[in-house]
Structure 1
């Protein structure tokens, strides 16, 4: 069984970690990458990325795609029937993965809404913009630019 299912618009592809690691991918700028695969070159641009929901909007050679990645845990949750969507109040923001804080885009006291960019986290050779998952007011920011964070570490405390 593959380790990842990648949904691209209405199609899906099964990938293994080995196949992903074998890609020749070079970061050119903050949001642009050069990819070589099967002796073909691809220009990849990341327009939007949400690490928590594992979704992104990218362009490959100028063609725009919506992408969602499911891992083995997502498939287990789906199989168990635990995908009921409920709205929830935004709580404290914790690091979704270990990484380095590159930029903080909000301040204490800021009122935020769903989709508000909070900070940039560099992890796994990618710069990820963490977005607010709901509405709330920032009580305090527990990290500074340049800080290394662990997965699950409190980054932003909400009121």
Structure 2
């Protein structure tokens, strides 16, 4: 089960199981999805056609930016573990201090949005990593001060490579 938020008052409970039906807020959700490649999709739902483009993904923060028929949508997903931490009042337990940011996948650094000495909060954009022709905004996993940036613009990085150090 996922809980997906697209705005302050738009929240959906999505239940899915491998090979099973998808439900949204308890209602069956029927759709046809065609992968066009390079982060582009075609969707049919309730007799309507939609074009979707995956603009950016932050897997650590579970945030996604989509263009759906030209309209920008920012999605924040919470899985059952995130919801349990929220319920227990522990959702901010891992956001205190961080020591480093590592590359979640191999790619090319196309933008650096911070500099050493800069104080950042959880969710602040740090770098943009291009992977598989998609731009992924890498955000601060917690609060801290940027101690060093270990990559330069246009550097190719490997998965797990340290990109930013925090003090």
Class of the TM-score when normalised by the shorter of the 2 chains: 0.5 to 0.7
Q: Deviation at 1:50?
A: 2.4
Q: TM-score, normalised by structure 2?
A: 0.62
Q: Deviation at 1:98?
A: 1.3
Whether contact under 8 Å (1:48, 1:56) holds in the other structure is: yes
- Structure 2 equivalent of residue 58 of structure 1: 66
Q: Deviation at 1:101?
A: 0.7
- Structure 2 equivalent of residue 135 of structure 1: 143
- Structure 2 equivalent of residue 11 of structure 1: 14
The Cα RMSD (Å) is: 3.5
- Structure 2 equivalent of residue 30 of structure 1: none
Alpha-carbon spacing, 1:125–1:142, altered in 2? closer, same or farther (3 Å): same
SS of 2:123's equivalent? coil
Q: State the 4+ residue runs in structure 1 displaced beyond 6 angstroms.
A: none
- Give the count of matched residue pairs: 137
Q: Deviation at 1:43?
A: 3.2
Residue of structure 1 aligned with 2:35, choices 8, 19, 23 = 23
- Structure 2 equivalent of residue 154 of structure 1: 162
Whether contact under 8 Å (1:57, 1:67) holds in the other structure is: no
Deviations 1:87-135 (A, max 9, x none): 4312211111111111111111212122211010012331101111222
CA distance in 2, matches of 1:136, 1:67: 22
Q: TM-score, normalised by structure 1?
A: 0.65
Residue 117, structure 1, aligned to residue 125, structure 2? yes
CA distance in 2, matches of 1:89, 1:98: 25
SS of 2:61's equivalent? coil
Give the number of the structure whose alpha-carbon radius of gyration is greater: 2
- Structure 2 equivalent of residue 68 of structure 1: 77
